[in-house]
Homo-oligomer: A and B are copies of this chain.
């Protein structure tokens, strides 16, 4: 199973499959890609390809056993071993991300935010903690944090990034408009809101 080569479009549909399958309550039964496609209003070829990429091919005639398919999709999203994420910077964007409900569909656990201007722990609307940066190093190490989200101004981003890497963070999601220097084994994904909107503007 080559997980990393699964396309972003396929990954985007996996929570839809999982939600439907978990709602069926017939875990012992089988389902074919054709039936699943019909139920969800998706193309049959697309569903077949998605499932094959993540779970392997279904059996001829019978399709997939629902319980096994759920296990494979859950495993793909690492539900059994949630990916721990922290946010650095608790301004409006950091807080919006902290309370964003859509991460859990992908097995991501946004544990806390950290901010240089926070002294005593605060709590977001959804009850997630926002801690002082003084606690950052020990928190990352003791919780085995995997992903660091950078939501600070561009001028502080490299410093925050370095501190993440030093504390064992293995990937960076950067919202600051800048380019970061990281060791080659650390993937960085930039979220450039200006560019996204400009690209849409060009399609009009």
- A contacts, CB < 8 Å to B: 3-4, 6, 8, 11-12, 15, 77-78, 83, 85, 91-93, 95-97, 99-108, 146-147, 149, 170-171, 173, 177, 187, 189, 191-204
> Could you list 14 further interchain pairs (A-B, Cβ under 8 angstroms) beyond the known A105-B194, A173-B200?
A4-B203, A8-B199, A78-B201, A92-B95, A92-B96, A93-B93, A101-B177, A102-B192, A102-B193, A108-B194, A146-B201, A147-B197, A171-B203, A171-B204
CB of B102 within 8 A of CB of A201, answer no
Nearest Cβ on chain B to A42's Cβ, whole angstroms: 11
CB of A83 within 8 A of CB of B201, answer yes
CB of A171 within 8 A of CB of B198, answer no
Given contacts A11-B199, A96-B93, contact A170 B204 (CB under 8 A): yes
Give this chain's copy count: 2
Collect the chain B residues with CB atoms within 8 Å of residue A99's CB.
92
Collect the chain B residues with CB atoms within 8 Å of residue A93's CB.
92-93, 96, 100
Collect the chain B residues with CB atoms within 8 Å of residue A91's CB.
96
Q: How far is the CA of A178 from the CA of B168 in the complex (A)?
A: 35
Collect the chain B residues with CB atoms within 8 Å of residue A96's CB.
91-93, 96
CB of B187 within 8 A of CB of A103, answer no
Most B CB within 10 A of own CB, among A104, A173, A195, A198: A198
CB of A11 within 8 A of CB of B195, answer yes
CB of B200 within 8 A of CB of A103, answer no
Partner of A197, one of B12, B103, B170: B103
CB of A197 within 8 A of CB of B106, answer yes
Collect the chain B residues with CB atoms within 8 Å of residue A92's CB.
92-93, 95-96, 99
Partner of A3, one of B83, B146, B170, B202: B202
Nearest Cβ on chain B to A189's Cβ, whole angstroms: 4
Closest-by-CB residue of B relative to A92 is: B96
